[in-house]
Amino acid sequence: MEKFYITTAIDYVNGAPHIGHAYEKIATDVIARHQKQRGKDVYFLTGSDEHGIKIQKTAAALNMTPKQLCDSNVAKFKDTWELLEIDYDQYIRTTDENHEKTVQKIFQKLLDKGAIYKDSYTGLYCSGCECFLNEKDLTEDGLCPDHLVKPEEVKEENYFFKLTDYKEQLKEYVKKAVKPEFRVNEVLNQIDDIRDISVSRSSETLQWGIPVSGDDSQVIYVWIDALSNYITAIGYDTEAPSDKFKQYWPANCHMIGKDILKFHSIYWPAILMALDVELPETIFAHGWITIDEQKMGKSLGNVISPASLMGTFELQNVDPIRYFFMTTTPFGKDGNYSDEDFKAKVNSDLANNMGNLLNRSLSMLCKYFDGEIKPEFVSDSLKDKALQTPPRVLEAFDNYAIEQAAEAVIELVNDTNKYVNDNAPWTLAKEEKWQECGQAIYNTLETMRHVAVLIYPICPNIAQDIWEQLCCEGKVSEYKISELKWSDLKIGKIASKETVKPVFLRIDSEFAGDKKKK
């Protein structure tokens, strides 16, 4: 079975999760679910980055140990991913004993190879970025451009990784691996300016981290600690990698935010080159989510959590959240959230178009034919449109264009709505043209069976509801895209008035509750 190994960035757990964190995890989950629909052996890794000065300082301010702070916030992240139905296979923590021991081995191997050396260094350090910055990286006021704080001048003796040894190899790799393609030149320009990087900190400065074996004065820094999670999680070892590592590595996709692209496309592959480990196939940098066109931030008071969205709109499941964030912006570019946009998008696509199409078609089947599909109803009128959609979805996912995959499915839904309006089964029933009426309903419901399979990675709950209301066997998640063919809808009684219900209520529906309506 062909494998597909996909990872998210591991979240820094000095705070609680918000929709920016959720955006990446939803996207990765959608891709993982789709790849399973292709019949692949998928492994989906996520986790948390738990060492560093920010954790150390935040914990001290809260009168907690760093581990207590991490444990508390990791629970919040895990609860949020459960809420969003993020179906990961493994959650790695950089405080896991196996990870810490393997990181020490990796550090030692690089040291033994001469890829790491010890030197004194003076530089501008931003604790928010957890990295040293060049003066040209700063704003005109001398601030970190991401955190808008003045970096502190740090002078200490550290271990350094010989990043400059890999310049030319990195350029060739970046041209092939970095996605979207418009990010490639950005990284190539950064490679021209790279210097060797610090991979340890003084233990006088940083106590909360993995010690360098044999040198108590140094703590292993984030680039070898956090980045190595992608291989330590699946059993990498410097001496004898596990069968699991051999099965899944190299990663097919590292899904990350654009702000950490430099570290993943320059630092990480160079470390792997030094270790003689195969490089990841794709590094995909997604954009950020703004709130009402403003960058999200605690100081602005506009940080939104997925749980608050669920509560604000009294959502029955998370599909509207997943759908909105995956469809409103070309994946890879920045997206924006507003309450009005959210309501308009999910009401239009999920309630008015998709949900209403299924509901009225099944209702007509019950009204005119007691919920029964008869053999003479089988027709091919929408066959071509339905079968043209899966290749479009597959191609979109090949390019990590999730919004284009969804667009193809919604286009099929819209075409089917037009077909229903053009053929008017209610008029055919009035004229007692029963076979033509049954065929029109059949074509619509058979198309909706295809829609359920194709929309499943984004909207797993709505897809399963459609699947069950069409009386299809098993779980829609187990149905492979390659198995989709026309006229597989069950012949016989598939519905009754009791089983037909909306798969998604409009947020402002009178049936959705006073708070929703408001």
Residue 307 has pLDDT above 60, yes or no: yes
- Catalytic residue of the set 25, 34, 36, 129: 129
Q: What is the pLDDT of residue 302?
A: 74
Q: Has residue 366 got a pLDDT over 70?
A: yes
3-state helix, strand, coil in the chain (%, to 5): 50, 15, 35
Please name the helix (run of DSSP H) or strand (run of DSSP E) that holds residue 152, with its range, or none. Answer: strand 152-161
Residue 515 has pLDDT above 70, yes or no: no
Instruction: Write down the catalytic residue from 21, 36, 51, 264.
Output: 21
Q: How many CA atoms lie within 13 A of 162 on its CB side?
A: 13
C-alpha closest to that of 219 among 233, 236, 205: 205
In CATH terms, the superfamily for domain 3-287 is HUPs (3.40.50.620)
Out of 25, 70, 99, 144, the active site residue is: 144
What pLDDT score does 513 carry?
47
Rounded CA separation 162/393 (Å)? 43
Average pLDDT over residues 337-343: 94
Both tokens of 195, joined, read: 């210097």
Indicate if 126 belongs to the active site: yes
Active site residue 264: no
Residue 298 designated active-site? yes
Catalytic residue among 126, 131, 471, 472: 126
More confident residue, 189 or 122: 189
Give the whole-angstrom CA distance, residue 50 versus residue 53. Answer: 10
pTM: 0.93
The reported pLDDT for the residue numbered 107 is 98
Q: Is residue 286 annotated as a catalytic residue, yes or no?
A: no
**Domain parsing of the chain, residue ranges:** 3-287, 309-517
Q: Which of 226, 229, 205 is nearest to 217 (CA)?
A: 205
129 is catalytic: yes
Annotated active-site residue in 295, 333, 418, 497: 295
Is 70 a known active-site residue? no
Using alpha carbons, select from 427, 429, 393 the residue that is nearest to residue 38.
393
Q: Please identify which residue in the block is written with the tokens 């065929």.
A: 439
Mean pLDDT, residues 359-368: 98
> How confident is the model at residue 120, as a pLDDT?
87
CATH fold of 309-517 reads Isoleucyl-tRNA Synthetase; Domain 1 (1.10.730)
Task: Calculate the average pLDDT of the chain.
Answer: 94
Instruction: With cut-offs at 50, 70 and 90, classify the pLDDT of residue 517.
Output: very low
Question: What was the pLDDT predicted at 322?
Answer: 98
Confidence of residue 134 (pLDDT cuts 50, 70, 90): confident
